[in-house]
């Protein structure tokens, strides 16, 4: 593994306001959660993995741009970097290498407690799904590490839809699998593209960044 590139030390665990419970509106009949940065505090680890993977190609990835692309599948991120900056990185090879680096960090990932509290509280009371732009293998491994896999009626990932966030497809499919109308679902998100996707699907949205310090 290459030495940690400059900037990686900026990646650290996020902190969140202690609140009694995230409020769930009375009309809501289904809950849909993004995974990275919403259920699991994975974003710093993802950024470290990106810096290592892209560093081998001499490609810089500013932290602000990384967070701007929250929810975008890894392969699409590589494509965007190639398109914007004229890089020639092999798309799937680079994306898969980045994900393999991230897997090594999963045992260190912590839950985002205010969101996980909702998942535990509504387990068995409302149908729940995950709608993540990540790869299924990585998403499921993350959920297993947090002991949450069995809490969900459906797990949707980038492989399940043709158009990722900010398109609404993944949220619409998650709602369909739950058997709940999109307008009766509450989506939990932490990134602009995810919020845009959920709203385009006609859902209420709770932005997890509102409880971040």
Residue 32 has φ and ψ, to the nearest 5°, of -130, 130
| Residue of 34, 36, 41, 169 marked catalytic | 34
Calculate Rg over the CA atoms of the chain: 17
Q: Is 43 exposed, middle or buried (0-12, 13-18, 19+ CB in 10 A)?
A: buried
Q: Which of 61, 95, 63 is nearest to 79 (CA)?
A: 95
Euclidean distance between CA atoms 50 and 91, whole angstroms: 13
Catalytic residue flag (residue 207): no
Residues designated as active site: 34
């Amino acid at each position: 593994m290459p030495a940690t590139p400059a900037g990686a030390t900026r990646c650290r665990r996020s902190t969140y306001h202690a609140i009694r419970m995230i409020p769930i509106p009375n009309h809501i009949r289904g809950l849909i959660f993004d995974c990275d940065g919403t259920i699991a505090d994975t974003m710093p680890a993802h950024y470290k993995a990106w810096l290592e993977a892209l560093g081998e190609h001499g490609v810089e990835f500013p932290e602000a741009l990384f967070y701007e692309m929250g929810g975008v599948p890894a392969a699409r991120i590589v494509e965007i970097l190639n398109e914007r900056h004229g890089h020639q990185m092999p798309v799937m090879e680079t994306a898969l290498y980045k994900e393999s680096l991230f897997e090594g960090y999963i045992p260190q990932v912590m839950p985002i407690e205010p969101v996980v509290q909702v998942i535990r509280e509504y387990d068995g009371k409302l149908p729940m799904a995950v709608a993540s732009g990540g790869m299924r293998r990585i998403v499921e491994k993350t959920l297993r590490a947090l002991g949450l896999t069995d809490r969900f009626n459906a797990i949707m990932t980038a492989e399940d839809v043709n158009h990722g966030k900010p398109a609404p497809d993944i949220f619409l499919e998650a709602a369909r699998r739950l058997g709940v109308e999109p307008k009766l679902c509450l989506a939990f998100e932490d990134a602009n593209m995810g919020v845009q996707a959920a709203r385009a699907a006609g859902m209420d949205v709770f932005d997890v960044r509102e409880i971040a310090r």
